[in-house]
Amino acid sequence: MTAVRENWPQDAQGSVHADVAPSPWLFAYAAVAIALFAGFRALGADDIFYAVTKEAGPIEVASAVLWGLAAVTVLSLSSYAQLAYRWPIVVGFSLFAARELDWDKAFLSEGILQLRLYSGDAPMGEKLIGAAVIALILTVLWKLARQMPLMWTALWSERAAWAWMVVGTLGLGVVAKTIDGIGRKMAEFGVTLSPETVAGFSVAEELMELVFVVGMIAAVCMFEARSRRV
């Protein structure tokens, strides 16, 4: 990972003070354990569809916990100097955790991502809060986009496993987002899916989102483990 290490500042002792930092694999193992526990809880229920898709169910709670764990993983494996350029990852993971907890619509009269909040009669204070969050999201996306060339270097020039994990995980996320609300989407093309089929896609989508966050944590741990070996 020579190219990546040259562009992503490192401490003199490696990617992070490796002599005191925890093993990255501890976080990966914890993520897998949480996901498996939630998966077995949901799939072992009498009504799998309800257990997987319900609000505050084992899958949704596990997803929120895992996104929080993802943020903690980056924080724990980074030095102060590294957080100067890794903070968008931490904030991005934290925003995903907040989204899983429905915080985007829990504290205001309308959801932060809803146009009604800004075009309707919501209090100006709520509009300003929503605009600030939107600005933060856009800033995080811009910062992450600027780091993408480094990932492509690791992907194509170095065949780094962590980069392939990121790409594969993002692909899974795209698939999950595509099948979200598949019944409504197909109805727009005149195709009617049976309730059983729609329920099956809903279960698959929730499980994919769970695997998505585990994949992100694994990618972080794989990057850190490889950096320590170089």
Q: Which long-range contacts (CB under 8 A, 24 or more apart) does 168-176 make?
A: 168/215, 169/211, 169/212, 169/215, 169/216, 169/218, 169/219, 172/208, 172/211, 172/212, 172/215, 173/208, 173/209, 173/212, 175/208, 176/204, 176/205, 176/208, 176/209, 176/212
Q: Token pair of 189, please? A: 């093309």
- The residue type found at 114 is Q
pTM of the predicted structure, to 2 decimals: 0.83
* pLDDT digits (tens), the chain, 230 positions: 334 443 444 443 444 455 556 788 999 999 999 999 998 888 777 777 777 877 777 888 999 999 999 999 999 998 888 888 899 999 999 999 998 888 878 787 788 888 888 887 888 888 899 899 999 999 999 998 888 777 777 777 777 888 889 989 999 999 999 998 888 888 888 888 888 888 888 888 989 999 999 999 999 999 888 877 64
pLDDT (0 to 100) of residue 92: 94
Separation CA 51–CA 34 (nearest Å): 16
Q: Which residue has the tokens 């992503």?
A: 8
* Helix boundaries (H) for the chain: 2-7, 24-43, 48-53, 58-76, 80-100, 116-119, 124-152, 161-179, 182-187, 195-229
Separation CA 72–CA 64 (nearest Å): 13
Q: Token pair of 190, please? A: 């005149």
pLDDT (0 to 100) of residue 226: 81
Question: Under 8 Å CB-to-CB from 140, ≥6 apart: which residues?
Answer: 88, 91, 92, 95
Separation CA 127–CA 181 (nearest Å): 28
pLDDT (0 to 100) of residue 89: 94
